[in-house]
């Protein structure tokens, strides 16, 4: 098949959608399909190289480097028309993705649309709390319009499916969790050799237990709950030799740093900034525990990356994680910042055998998120879209 994948965000940007889109792109090519990425660029002109078509876009600084492009580009359309596309796969909602719907309509080919992001959780970036009810209604209507335009709809999780149905979308929705390559996160000899000196470089002693927060530092990720919970932990359980590291960047970084200073945690917390997609696995492998308080995820890829790295997961309970995390079997849930302190103490004091059992269970549980399962399911959706369009 010849498939154009439209997304407003793509590598080297680090976020769940960019990672999912890249996984799909690489997987399709590996299986013999002609896949193309259509995304934004900081350049002033259209570029097409290595099957990646980039269209100029304006950076949205408050949205962690996302770029907004105009919804039509004549030069890009001419290139796409020459590729004899069988379908388009749209992964975001704005400029580039609206262009995707236009391309599908003008080339008379089907469109597949994946709903990755719960945008109702992001309205404060635009409204600052004003007209919040109206803005959420507008987003729901916009989401519904996008889905109704698509030939086939994909939801990456049951949580997202519930939302899609709740806003009045009556079309059939395919639930297809994004697959990813587990091997690069595996605790193999080669991988461990690559990270052997990272702890030393970061000034982390072998005696310290490392708690990892990884992702975009933004309000909807609720990292402040982790910081406050960590303070509760250090206050309640003294003489615990731990360090909390944040890997990533984003609009909430300065507020989190201020909170860390206010709680007098600067000696226990490190902000390491953004790292390249190729380097991310190293930070999982130097960690003793992955912690996360976000309930805005549509699938939770970072949770599964941690599990693939044989790192135990402690996360705030969310319906989206049911089926991914089995409490006390494949990972651990906490409820709030007070509960976090007790759960953290409990997990860090499990013996090696108990931790190994949790990690082994976790590895088995993510088999259904393998690349092969994802590929089989996504091709079925593509074939259905093409059949429906005949």
Chunked in runs of 10, what are the mean pLDDT values of the chain (390 residues)? Answer: 95 83 94 97 92 87 63 95 98 91 97 83 53 73 91 90 91 89 82 83 92 91 97 91 95 96 96 90 96 83 91 90 86 96 97 96 86 93 92
237 shares its domain with 192 = yes
Residue 49, CA distances (Å) to 4, 54, 81, 236, 259 in order: 14, 9, 16, 55, 43
Residue 110 is given by DSSP the state -
The pLDDT assigned to 265 comes to 97
The pLDDT assigned to 42 comes to 84
83 shares its domain with 139 = yes
237 shares its domain with 116 = no
384 shares its domain with 328 = no
The answer to whether 334 and 321 are in contact (CB under 8 A) is no
Extended strands (E) in the chain: 2-6, 34-41, 47-49, 52-56, 58-60, 66-68, 87-90, 111-114, 152-155, 173-175, 209-214, 242-247, 269-273, 289-292, 313-316, 332-334
174 shares its domain with 28 = yes
Neighbours of 34 (CB within 10 A): 15
The CATH number linked to 8 is: 3.40.50.2000
194 shares its domain with 277 = yes
Give the residue numbers spanning the domain of 84: 2-179+370-389
The pLDDT assigned to 65 comes to 55
168 shares its domain with 71 = yes
Q: What is the DSSP string of 294-315?
A: ----SS-HHHHHHHHTT--EEE
Alpha carbon distance 214, 330 (integer Å): 19
26 shares its domain with 156 = yes
Alpha carbon distance 378, 126 (integer Å): 34
Nearest 10 degrees: Cα torsion 318, 322, 325, 326: 120
Taking phi over 0 as left and psi of -120 to 50 as alpha, with beta for the rest, 181 belongs to beta
380 shares its domain with 286 = no
Question: How far out from the chain centre does Cα 318 lie?
Answer: 15
First to last CA, the chain: 16
The pLDDT assigned to 202 comes to 93
Residue 242 phi/psi, 5° resolution?
A: -135, 160
The pLDDT assigned to 132 comes to 67
The pLDDT assigned to 192 comes to 83
106 shares its domain with 208 = no
Neighbours of 208 (CB within 10 A): 15
The pLDDT assigned to 130 comes to 54
* HEC readout, 62-88: HHCCEEECCCCCHHHHHHHHCCCCCEE
Residue 178 is given by DSSP the state P
The pLDDT assigned to 358 comes to 97
Alpha carbon distance 245, 2 (integer Å): 42
Alpha carbon distance 372, 180 (integer Å): 9
233 shares its domain with 325 = yes
The pLDDT assigned to 194 comes to 78
Pair type for strands 52-56 and 47-49? antiparallel
126 shares its domain with 198 = no
Domain count, the chain: 2
């Amino acid at each position: 098949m010849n498939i154009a994948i439209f997304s407003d965000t793509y590598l080297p940007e680090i976020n769940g959608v960019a990672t999912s889109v890249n996984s799909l792109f690489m997987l399709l090519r590996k299986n013999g399909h002609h896949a193309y990425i259509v995304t934004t660029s900081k350049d002033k002109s259209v570029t097409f190289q290595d099957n990646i078509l980039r269209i100029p876009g304006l950076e949205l600084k408050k949205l962690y480097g996302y770029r907004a492009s105009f919804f039509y580009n004549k030069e890009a359309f001419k290139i796409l028309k020459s590729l004899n596309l069988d379908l388009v796969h749209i992964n975001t909602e704005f400029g580039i993705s609206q262009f995707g719907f236009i391309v599908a309509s003008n080339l008379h080919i089907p469109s597949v649309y994946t709903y990755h992001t719960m945008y109702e959780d992001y309205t404060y970036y635009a409204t600052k709390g004003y007209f919040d009810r109206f803005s959420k209604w507008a987003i729901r209507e916009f989401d519904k319009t996008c889905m109704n335009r698509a030939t086939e709809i994909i939801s990456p999780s049951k949580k997202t499916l519930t939302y899609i149905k709740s806003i009045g979308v009556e079309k059939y929705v395919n639930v297809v969790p994004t697959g990813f390559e587990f091997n690069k996160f595996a605790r193999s000899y080669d991988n461990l050799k690559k990270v052997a000196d990272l702890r030393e470089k970061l000034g982390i002693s072998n005696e310290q237990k490392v708690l990892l927060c990884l992702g975009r530092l933004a309000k909807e990720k609720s990292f402040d709950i982790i910081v406050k919970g960590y303070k509760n932990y250090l206050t309640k359980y003294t003489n615990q030799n731990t360090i909390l590291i944040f890997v990533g960047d984003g609009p909430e970084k300065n507020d989190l740093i201020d909170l860390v200073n206010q709680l007098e945690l600067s000696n226990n917390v490190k902000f390491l900034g953004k790292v390249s997609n190729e380097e991310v696995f190293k930070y999982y492998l130097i960690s003793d525990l992955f912690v996360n308080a976000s309930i805005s995820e549509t699938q939770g890829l970072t949770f599964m990356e941690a599990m693939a790295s044989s790192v135990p997961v402690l996360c705030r309970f969310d319906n989206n994680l049911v089926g991914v995390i089995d409490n006390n079997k494949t990972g651990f849930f906490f409820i709030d910042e007070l509960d976090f302190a007790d759960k953290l103490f409990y997990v860090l004091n499990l013996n090696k055998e108990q931790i190994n059992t949790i990690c082994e269970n976790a590895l088995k549980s993510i088999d259904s998120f393998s690349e092969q399962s994802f590929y089989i399911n996504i091709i079925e959706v593509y074939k259905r879209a093409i059949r429906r369009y005949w």
